[in-house]
Structure 1
Amino acid sequence: MHARILLPAALAAALLTLTACGSGDGSASAGAARTSPSKASSPAQSPADSYDGGSGSQGVKVPEALDFSATTVDGKPFDAKTLAGKPTVLWFWAPWCPTCKGQAAETAKVAADYQGKANVVGVAGLDKNAAMRGFVADTGAGSFPHLSDEKGEVWKRFEVTQQSHYVILDQTGKTVYEGVLPGGKGLAAKVAAVTG
């Protein structure tokens, strides 16, 4: 029982230690871009793994990267399988992070500009849900879904160790970009490249 208490605390401390929030300079300490796919972004699928999604996406193969569920900051269930078949931007942020606040407007703009062509999902962590909801309201980033990842499950799945981090998946679920984009600059070009 003692290990159950210590492990989450140790994980949170490790995540906080590895974060570089507020540096905003795009240097290696702010999170160098990784282009190699993580374990979670492998396009491996089971043969019967397809998803209708309820929106005409019948037969779309669900990559392993999108085989998870979560809860949004407003308490609604979220099934990542609904993202299958389109490029997806996962934006990992924390509510107290000034670098993340600086990315919110550009991320919301990209979400609006590519609506129907690509998915944009915020993944909030490193704080409580009330602070996450406040961040979304304060930054005006409520036009796309934000997951409340208080336990860090989605962060761990994508091997994210710092906030203000983007993971971009192509339509097959393969990771094509990972890294920090100060102010969200360059996000639109990266999404344009995967939407054709």
Structure 2
Amino acid sequence: MSKPQLSPAKGRRWWRPAVELLVVLLIFLALKAWLQRDMISGEAPDFQARLLDGTPVSLADYRGAPVLVHFWATWCGICRLEQGSIETISQAWPVLTVAMQSGDAQALAAYMAEHGYAQAVIADEDGALAARFGVGAVPASFVLDADGNIRFRERGLTTGWGLRARLWMARLL
């Protein structure tokens, strides 16, 4: 008895979904690159600012360990979705957040208290600090290594586990 032969069409059925998946992946990566085109790379620019409680802070204060620098806004719906993840990450990793065009320190302190957030926040009332990082839209995240070099950058909704993985990888690099 002979073995049944597969028709050529049946043998190639897996190619079509694979090609479609590849096309979707390429479109996703192209869109991601386009969204991040203005975000800086290389060494992160140092800055001096004040946290909401008036404590002076500098990016150089975070040297020696990976750090997440996260730009967000109170008026941003996507930022509100991921704010809980950023808060949780800040309990295990160094995190510095920058509230872009979201009011003064007093208004932001009230917002943070209302939502139960305790992460380090800089009020970037005019967006000048965001502009230094090439951030034109939020949310935007930068993962810096221990030497202050930008290892990863992300714009748009990002998962907490994805940010943790990037922080972990920045520690290894």
Q: CA deviation at 1:93?
A: 0.6
Give the direction of change, closer, same or farther, for the CA distance of 1:138–1:184 in structure 2 (3 Å limit).
Answer: farther
Which residue does 1:111 correspond to in 2? 90
Which residue does 2:21 correspond to in 1? none
Give the direction of change, closer, same or farther, for the CA distance of 1:109–1:101 in structure 2 (3 Å limit).
Answer: same
Distance in 2 of aligned mates of 1:82 and 1:166? 18
Match of 2:59 among 68, 73, 80: 80
What does 1:20-35 align with in structure 2 at a 5 Å threshold?
28=31, 32-33=35-36
What TM-score do the two structures reach when normalised by structure 2? 0.69
Does 1:154 find its partner at 2:124? no
Which residue does 1:140 correspond to in 2? 116
Instruction: State the percentage of identical aligned residues.
Output: 26
Which residue does 1:170 correspond to in 2? 145
Which residue does 2:48 correspond to in 1? 69
Distance in 2 of aligned mates of 1:190 and 1:131? 31
**Contact 2:39/2:133 (8 A) holds in 1:** no
Aligned residue for 2:147, secondary structure, equals coil
Distance in 2 of aligned mates of 1:134 and 1:164? 20
What TM-score do the two structures reach when normalised by structure 1? 0.62
Distance in 2 of aligned mates of 1:182 and 1:190? 11
Which residue does 1:47 correspond to in 2? none
The structure whose Rg is larger is 2
Write the deviation string for residues 92-132 of structure 1: whole angstroms up to 9, x where unpaired: 01111121111111111112123xxxx20010111212442
**Contact 1:106/1:184 (8 A) holds in 2:** yes
**Contact 1:124/1:147 (8 A) holds in 2:** yes
What does 1:36-55 align with in structure 2 at a 5 Å threshold?
38=40, 42-43=42-43
Distance in 2 of aligned mates of 1:79 and 1:124? 16
Give the direction of change, closer, same or farther, for the CA distance of 1:37–1:98 in structure 2 (3 Å limit).
Answer: closer
Aligned length: 142
Q: CA deviation at 1:183?
A: 5.0
Match of 1:187 among 139, 163, 168: 163
Distance in 1 of aligned mates of 2:162 and 2:36? 12
Q: Which runs of 5+ in 1 are unaligned?
A: 1-26, 44-64
**Contact 1:37/1:175 (8 A) holds in 2:** no
Q: Which runs of 5+ in 2 are unaligned?
A: 1-29
**Contact 2:79/2:157 (8 A) holds in 1:** no
